[in-house]
Amino acid sequence: MSDPDYNFAYLDEQTKRMIRRSLLKAVAIPGYQVPFGSREMPMPYGWGTGGIQLTASLIGLDDTLKVIDQGSDDTTNAVSIRKFFRRTTGVATTEKTTEATLIQTRHRIPETPLQKGQILIYQVPIPDPLSFLEPRETEARKMHALSEYGIMHTKLYEDIAHYGAILHTYDYPVMVNDRYVMRPSPIPKFDNPKMDNMHALQVFGAGREKRIYAVPPYTKVKSLDFEDHPFEVQRWENSCALCGADNTFLDEIVVDDHGERLFACADSDYCQTRQAEQGGQR
Amino acid sequence: MIEQALLKVEDLAVHYGDYVACEQINFELFPGEVLGVVGESGSGKTSLLKALSTQLTPDAGRVEYFSDIKGLLDLYELPESQRRQLTRSEWGVVHQSPRDGLRLNVSAGANIGERLMENGERNYGSIRQQAETWLENVEIDIDRIDDMPTTFSGGMQQRLQIARNLVTHPKLIFMDEPTGGLDVSVQARLLDLLKKLVSQYNLSVIIVTHDLAVARLLAHRLMVMQRGRVVETGLTDQVLDDPQHPYTQLLVSSVLQP
Amino acid sequence: MTILTVKDLTKSFTLHHQSDAKIIALWGVNFSLEAGSCLVLRGPSGAGKSSLLRTIYGNYIAASGEIYVHHKGERVELCDASPRTILNIRKNTMGYVSQFLRVVPRVTTLQIVANPLLECGIGEEEAFEKARSILTRLNIPERLWMLAPATFSGGEQQRVNIAHGFISDHPLLLLDEPTASLDEANRDVVIEMINEKRAQGVAILGIFHDSVVREAVADDYYDLTVGDDTSD
């Protein structure tokens, strides 16, 4: 049951409608940053206010919501947001990637491939890939409009020149649908290939910066690179200490006061599912 | 033989509200030609340069440019995307302040490589190699390729600006007081370099300067501006040695001789 | 063949900031110059000898009259010519050696002398070879070649200037006191060079203060007098 003191999903209906309209535009123009009238939410900027507003305007009574923070369902940010929506909507929540219809995420894409009909909602701190490179907002917008993205490569050039390789490990810029360069939000570049041709809809919300953008299902998403320095994802020498997976994004965890550490899947649901399967087999 | 003008300017005007920055500007520029625009501060020369180099939209008039690749183009009839494409491939702009003409937060190599990357070059090795060649062409030590331009002297920054523009082999370069603010010794070296590059690459240049000595050494022709109008044009040495207009006579006779 | 024809040429200066004073520098100048001949301008100081050379060279604007130059097989009128035409004529047809050297500071002597050839598209090797040979001939010591001429003596600068003016194969040369500050030996070299040019068919119009030079090179004279109608 939802708290009767709040409108369904906290935001008023007009606001949700406005956000949905912006979302439709975003889906129609993959990778384009649509400005929207971002509202004050009952939590600070940086806690995912953009993602929450998107979730609030998308969620319906028959949805099942999953919220992850850095891949995990049980960290503070994920728990609070899940509780927020349980209270304001009363909809079902889950930790299972496969059961969710909406997945709000901070900085990860689940390891389990997403399916048709699911929507992945990203929390975005800084939406524009050109910020820090082009200080003038008007000029940056013009560069997007005219698809002038040479400057993006100067950043990658600098990495190779100074360190011999592209050192960007997260929030690695991508070209969407051969048209707009987009920030995928601070996901590890390990997740970038998952965005390409994904079966699910991907939407991005930046509350403080008041921008929404989207990648519709089955859209080409290519990480920027050079011919002679192609895009590569991180690899680990270890496999997951808990489930044994050797193809996932691993967190390094200190386990005792002596500095002992182990590597484990960052995606807690994926790891637990694998452990359960292995337990069942044994 | 009738040679095709590279740039043709007709009745160009720039206004700031009621104030006329420049008007009734008419001239042609040919391949390999260096045109000096001289006049004191406020005479409208920088406004003119900006209107020609698409940094500012003129209020009246036409600017035609003849592109080897695209043929005759009416600059302000072109879609903005094409105009910008033109300015970063076939044109170059060297600003008085390196702050306006360089990206100070990326290395010298990236500064030179930027235009290549803007024009679709995606091979790091090739970009690197062209950046090295151009550092050499403007007499900057190749070892400085990964250094930030903020660590460069004023003269080096100007030379880096030139390299950054010339890397795409432009036809037309706009310069606004490129030697302003430099020591005379550094200025001499830059002038020599510019002269060499102009003849080596058959560049057409429009250079705005209030320094008549710089104009004499670099420009083939001069255009003298006063209160937004062109009051005299002609061969550089003729305008300086046999000025006809009262204003030009005043300008020439006011120069201090060292 | 007539290389240069001057018809009814006048030149005056209006000094707008000095009560619009009008100074007449040249009045009714008429002559023509054949290939391979040397015409020497005579007249007292202030008669307009240098002004005449400068007007022909396009450095001064004529008040009235016509100047015809045989340029690339065509007769071109200079007083109404565009700056581009004049530059083209200067590059290919008409050379000018003044008394003063005007160059970009810090450029080496060898480079300065080779430049006219390089600008005409002649290869570096050939251009520098010719520059070395002409500098040797004019007794500019080799140790000075890689230096800029700003600090050279008056005579040395003058010779660099001559080397710069004589290195090209222009069919018409205007010489304004090229031997003014030269010693006898170097003066004789220049006389020799002028006569070689004549023998090659170059037309020369010159001002020579030094009577020895004058007599050694002149085929004919043209007299100018101060502020007067000087016709021959």
- CA A31 to the chain's CA centroid: 14
The closest alpha carbon to A124, from A82, A181, A182, A80, belongs to A182
Q: Which residue has the tokens 């500095």?
A: A259
Domains of chain B by start residue, with CATH: 1-90+170-258 (3.40.50.300), 104-169 (no CATH)
Q: Is C143 an interface residue toward B (CB < 8 Å)? A: no
User: Could you tell me the pLDDT band of residue A132, with boundaries at 50, 70 and 90?
Assistant: confident
Q: What is the SS3 string spanning C23-61? A: EEEEEEEEEEEECCCEEEEECCCCCCHHHHHHHHHCCCC
Percentage of residues in chain A having pLDDT higher than 70: 99
* Nearest-CA distance C99 → chain B (Å): 15
Closest alpha carbon to B32 in C88, C79, C114: C88
A and C in touch (3+ CB pairs within 8 angstroms):
no
Q: Considering only CB atoms, which chain C residues are within 8 Å of B5?
A: none
- Each residue's pLDDT tens digit, C163-208: 999 999 999 999 999 988 899 999 999 999 999 999 999 999 999 9
The residue-averaged pLDDT of A36-44 equals 93
Q: Above 50 in pLDDT, residue C231?
A: no
Task: Count the Cβ atoms, other than its own, within 10 Å of residue B257.
Answer: 4
* Cβ atoms of A72 and A66 closer than 8 Å: no
CATH topology assigned to domain A13-223: Rossmann fold (3.40.50)
Q: What is the rounded CA–CA span in Å between residue B101 and residue B88?
A: 12
Of C191, C171, C194, the C-alpha closest to C73 is C171
B54-92, pLDDT tens digit by residue? 999 999 999 999 998 889 999 999 999 999 999 999 999
Examine the pLDDT at A133 and tell me if it is beyond 90. Answer: no
Chains B and A physically touch (3 or more Cβ atom pairs below 8 Å): yes
Name the pairing type of β-strands B221-226 and B229-235: antiparallel
d(CA C158, CA A242): 90
**Where in the sequence numbering do the catalytic residues of A fall?**
31, 240, 243, 265, 271
Q: Per-residue confidence at C232, pLDDT binned at 50, 70, 90?
A: very low
The answer to whether A34 and A213 are in contact (CB under 8 A) is yes
Most A CBs within 10 Å: which of B81, B102, B118, as the mutation test of the A interface? B118
Render B127-174 in DSSP notation, one character per residue.
Answer: HHHHHHHHHHHTT--GGGTTS-GGGS-HHHHHHHHHHHHHTT--SEEE
Do the Cβ atoms of C16 and B216 come within 8 Å? no
**8 A C-beta contact, residue A213 and residue A204:** yes
Q: Mutate which of B242, B244, B247, B257 to test chain C, going by most C C-beta atoms within 10 A?
A: B242
Q: Is the pLDDT of residue C72 over 70?
A: yes
Chain CA centroid to CA B17, Å: 26
Interface contact flag, B188 C106, Cβ < 8 Å? yes
Which segments of chain C belong to CATH 3.40.50.300? 1-93+170-232
Region A75-85: mean pLDDT is 94
d(CA B141, CA B166): 17
Please give the pLDDT value at position B239: 96
Predicted confidence band at B258 (pLDDT cuts at 50, 70, 90)? Answer: low
CATH architecture entry for C1-93+170-232: 3-Layer(aba) Sandwich (3.40)
- The Cα B106–Cα A160 span in angstroms is 12
Taking the C-alpha atoms of residue B135 and residue B1, their distance in angstroms, rounded to an integer, is 38
The answer to whether C18 and C221 are in contact (CB under 8 A) is no
C214: left (phi over 0), alpha (psi -120 to 50) or beta: alpha
pLDDT tens per residue, range A239-277: 999 999 999 999 998 989 998 999 999 999 999 999 999
- For chain C, percent of residues with pLDDT exceeding 70: 97
Query: Cβ contacts (< 8 Å) between B33 and chain C: which residues?
Result: 84
Residue B55 dihedral angles phi and psi, to the nearest 5°: -85, -10
- Ramachandran assignment for A70, one of left (phi > 0), alpha (psi -120 to 50 degrees), beta (any other): left
